[in-house]
Amino acid sequence: KMSMLSRAVCGVRKKCLIINFPGSKKAVGECLNVVIDCVPHALALLRDNTVSVSATHQALQASVTSKVDVSRVARRARESVFPMVDVEESIRIVRKIVLQSIPSVSPSDRTEEVSIQQALGRVIVRPVTATCSLPPFRASVKDGYAAISTDGRGPREVISVMVAGSQPLSGGVLEPGQCARVNTGAPVPPGADCVVQVEDTRVLQETDDGREELKIEVLVAPTIGQDIREIGSDVKEGDVVLQVTQAPLTSSQVGLLASVGIVSLPVVRLPRVAVLSTGNELRPPGHKLEAGQIWDSNKIMLLCLFKEHGFPTVDLGIARDEPNETLAKLQEGIACADVIVTTGSVSMGERDLLKQVLKEDLNAEIHFGRVNLKPGKPTTFASCEGPDKRTILFFCLPGNPVSASVTCQLYVLPTLRQLSGHAQPEGQIVKAQIQSELKLDPRVEFKRGIYRAGSTETPAS
């Protein structure tokens, strides 16, 4: 079936699934046969039909078999086989592995072209040059009158009016003894070499209805070039306006790009992060709870945190504490994400099987499985080879919401920034003076608190 080579296109607009097939009837039939089985599931996803989506996922997961055997409970490990790693060493390990993972992505997939409307916070990959001069015409700095400096003080005939948006030649060419009324930012007509601010003039003659000025008097002798921005005085066409600094673009820099005619530019592609919660006791928010169940708060917290920082996300749902289901969810994440973040199933419980699934089923390398940290001791970091030889990174965080939040801020967010091209991916550290006594653990410990700067209060840890 060669019709698949016709580069068919599929996309989504709001809740509408759009599939573009080739032109021939034979090719349409062949392509339709390929996608028809997937269309109901795609529509269920668009309509947020969780019952249908879950049923499809369970059917797919039924065919996935893990090598992990959790039936022999009495023979499970009583002590962790993973050495305790200091916090600083764990951060160093993460940075090293992340740096090594970047070349695993093909150069064409590391960058993407975005419009300037989507450029805020992104990292450019090459210097940006101006496509035009700024200003692109001779512009008035003030409200007043464009004039000829050699005329000095004295009367002027007002021959035209130039406002912002006027054509530069619409006001005619000034001759000695003439001037044109101009607004700030308006083009200066040919022949003028200065602008006299309105405060340094007075009206000598006007129309009977007072709507037009016919003649004014310049009270202060102007100088050549006074209050005129010449073409390219700010930026010349071809000038480099932004260098590659590995720092995220700011709002003022995006505004600069717009002012010199940039409509799109290449930036470092943002990593896609998938989030998975694990645990038999978890239910999605809004679902009825049975005895012994709780609502899953970790996943929505982490998804919102990543979206807050501008990273694209994938919701992998909730995996029960079963090897096959956990493996299926991880494989789903590997197929669509660069970083997979899980919560739960990393401690010493008989159903804490995530590390085993990573190692035995996915042949992942576990770089550390315990950190001398409070909260967050069982935090695990691993990597494996994914599609197209890409390196997939796994951050397996504790199930406790506070632990998950702390370790995500400590490890995951800096990693996502590093993958996005940031030269300084770590969060800002602010020194503060505590107002009450703190009892700290011998381990590195993160405490929740309120940071006060003047009258402003900010949650801090």
CATH fold for the domain made of 79-103+270-420: Molybdenum Cofactor Biosythetic Enzyme; Chain A (3.40.980)
pLDDT at 54: 64
Query: Which CATH code fits 139-229?
Result: 2.170.190.11
Q: Which of 186-190, 362-366, 424-428 has the lowest mean pLDDT?
A: 424-428
- CATH 2.170.190.11 residue window(s) in the chain: 139-229
- For the stretch 62-75, pLDDT in tens is 578 999 988 787 77
Q: Which of 104-113, 312-321, 343-352 has the lowest mean pLDDT?
A: 343-352
Environment class of residue 269 by beta-carbon count within 10 Å: exposed (0-12), middle (13-18) or buried (19+)?
buried
Judge whether 433 and 116 are in contact, CB under 8 Å: no
Amino acid code (one letter) for 67: K
| Mean pLDDT, rounded, of the chain | 91
- CATH 3.40.980.10 residue window(s) in the chain: 79-103+270-420
User: What's the chain's length in residues?
Assistant: 461
Burial annotation 120-138 (CB, 10 A radius, 16+ → b, else e): ebbbbbeebebebbbbbeb
Judge whether 114 and 124 are in contact, CB under 8 Å: no
- For the stretch 187-246, pLDDT in tens is 999 999 999 999 999 999 999 999 999 999 999 999 999 999 999 999 999 999 999 999
Q: Binning pLDDT at 50, 70 and 90, where does residue 449 land?
A: confident
